[in-house]
Homo-oligomer: A and B are copies of this chain.
Amino acid sequence: MNISYFDDSRITEKTIKSKITKLGQYRQEIRENMEENNSDVPEYSLYYPKDFTLHSNITELAKTYKNIKHLVVIGIGGSNLGTEAIHQVLDEGKVKLSVLDTVSAYNLAVLLDELKKYKKATQLTICIISKSGSTTETLSNASVLIEELKHHFGEEINQQLIFIGDPKTEVEKYAKKISAHYVAMPKIIGGRYSVATAVGLIPLALLGHDTDEFISGYLDASKDEYETITAENSARLALYLQNKYHHYNFFAFEPRLEKLGEWYRQLFAESLGKETTKNGKPVKDAMLPTISTPVELHSVGQLYFSKITTVYTDFVTFDDEKFDFKTTKSNKLASGLKNLSLQEIVTGLYGGVIGAYQERELPYRATILDESLPYSLGLFMGMRLREIMYTANLMDVNAFDQPNVELYKIKTKEILKI
């Protein structure tokens, strides 16, 4: 993983070091918990994939469903964003992924049309993922989809359902009642930290992706080499927050990383977006994360480059040499492009944008994923989970709760009388 930085002049080596010093105790705590394989702390997510049961579950399910054509994931937030992020990068058209996240009768109707074209139920698998077992959106989507598919394919559809969530919820009971698969996730691991549990790994295995490579990268994020970089990155995040930066721009320069941006955005916003510190003091620093791709150079780009507001930018990209096309001068449209290939043009664009950021003194960090993609994604996600925990520690906020989202849920339930 190649990472470079271009910092605001107020973010100095000295200020970074001082933040890193503050992290000392927390880093030590995590190190000890990891050595003891402590499963009672929320940081368990960082080393959980060593778990042996998880691996045998994955292998077994991947074998059972190895010939499917289409996987539907029903889940929202932490239950689907990790899977979507990884699949968007690794997708080679082997198994199609569809997601039902929020409630939309239109989306459900379109998906049903598509699923009913399959001849046999065994060409499909449906993963129903709800940590709490009570997510309104997921239960609504799942119950309707299952009833409709049962009507079409008969009871055998039950064998194509995999339920994933905390143990002892209504969902587990239901799965057992209809003799469908149920896989537990560890209760202590929050939804947005769950990509390397059954929540992410089972769908990814069913999609035909290399979960071993992914896990290997994910666990390497705890190695000294990467852990040190992560501590530095957290120090920077805390400093940009403290220096009143308002915006955080995840810039997926390779457009297939856009959903990785959505995954990180949730992690960032839910973990750091807190009203009060652990001691009840009001939090005053906030960056709102947004996502860009090079398409936005022709959209929000003008605003970014105008420098009228403060944005910390997070460029993430990878080189993909599998595909390329040469422009040919013989096509007069491309006569100015001097036979350059599309990859060369992309590289030029990237250099041009980075150069413009430097000239305008717009701070950024830039990450290039330069090892095998499943490994790189595992490493990246493992590092980012840890980075957010460290940053929350520096801000003295709880990285693991989401207290303010209850209000709209309560109001919704009042309206619906449920």
Residues on A lying within 8 angstroms of B by beta carbon are: 76-78, 81, 101-109, 134, 136-137, 139-140, 142-144, 146-148, 170-171, 173-174, 177, 246-247, 254-256, 262, 265-266, 269-270, 272-275, 282-290, 293-295, 297-309, 311, 320, 322-328, 331-338, 340-349, 351-353, 355-356, 359-360, 402-405, 407-418
Contact A342 B404 (CB under 8 A): no
| Cβ 8 A contact of A148, one of B81, B325, B412, B418 | B325
Contacts of A305 in B (CB 8 A): 404-405, 407-408
Contacts of A324 in B (CB 8 A): 105
Contacts of A272 in B (CB 8 A): 303
Question: Given A105-B325, A302-B269, A359-B407, do A140 and B334 touch, yes or no (CB 8 Å)?
Answer: yes
Question: Given A349-B412, A415-B348, do A333 and B143 touch, yes or no (CB 8 Å)?
Answer: yes
Contact B177 A351 (CB under 8 A): no
Contact B408 A140 (CB under 8 A): no
Contact B246 A108 (CB under 8 A): no
Contact B352 A412 (CB under 8 A): yes
| Cβ 8 A contact of A336, one of B78, B139, B353 | B139
| A136, A293, A347, A412 — most chain B CB neighbours (10 Å) | A412
CA distance A256 to B322 in the complex (A): 33
Contact B333 A174 (CB under 8 A): yes
| Cβ 8 A contact of A337, one of B140, B304, B320 | B140
Closest B residue, CB atoms, query A284 = B308
Instruction: Please state the number of chain copies in the assembly.
Output: 2
Q: How far is the CB of A345 from chain B (nearest CB, A)?
A: 5
Q: How far is the CB of A360 from chain B (nearest CB, A)?
A: 7
CA distance A275 to B344 in the complex (A): 32
CA distance A183 to B414 in the complex (A): 55
18 A-B pairs (CB sep. < 8 Å): A77-B299, A78-B298, A101-B295, A102-B294, A104-B256, A105-B341, A105-B346, A108-B323, A139-B336, A140-B340, A246-B309, A270-B299, A270-B300, A286-B303, A302-B405, A338-B417, A340-B416, A353-B408
Contact A266 B299 (CB under 8 A): yes
Closest B residue, CB atoms, query A294 = B102
Q: How far is the CB of A137 from chain B (nearest CB, A)?
A: 8
| 4 further A-B pairs in the complex, CB-CB below 8 A; given A103-B345, A106-B320, A109-B323 | A106-B256, A265-B299, A302-B405, A352-B413
| Cβ 8 A contact of A348, one of B288, B289, B336, B416 | B416
Contact A345 B411 (CB under 8 A): no
| A78, A255, A284 — most chain B CB neighbours (10 Å) | A255
Closest B residue, CB atoms, query A299 = B266
Q: How far is the CB of A299 from chain B (nearest CB, A)?
A: 4
Contact B293 A290 (CB under 8 A): no
Contact B105 A337 (CB under 8 A): no
CA distance A304 to B270 in the complex (A): 10
Contact A303 B107 (CB under 8 A): no
CA distance A287 to B344 in the complex (A): 35
Contact A299 B269 (CB under 8 A): yes
| Cβ 8 A contact of A306, one of B104, B106, B274 | B274
Contacts of A142 in B (CB 8 A): 333
Contact B412 A301 (CB under 8 A): no
Contacts of A345 in B (CB 8 A): 103, 136, 140, 416
Contact A299 B107 (CB under 8 A): no
| Cβ 8 A contact of A298, one of B76, B341, B348 | B76
Contacts of A109 in B (CB 8 A): 323, 325
CA distance A158 to B212 in the complex (A): 48
| Cβ 8 A contact of A106, one of B107, B309, B323, B344 | B323
Contacts of A104 in B (CB 8 A): 254-256, 342, 346
| Cβ 8 A contact of A146, one of B293, B333, B403 | B333
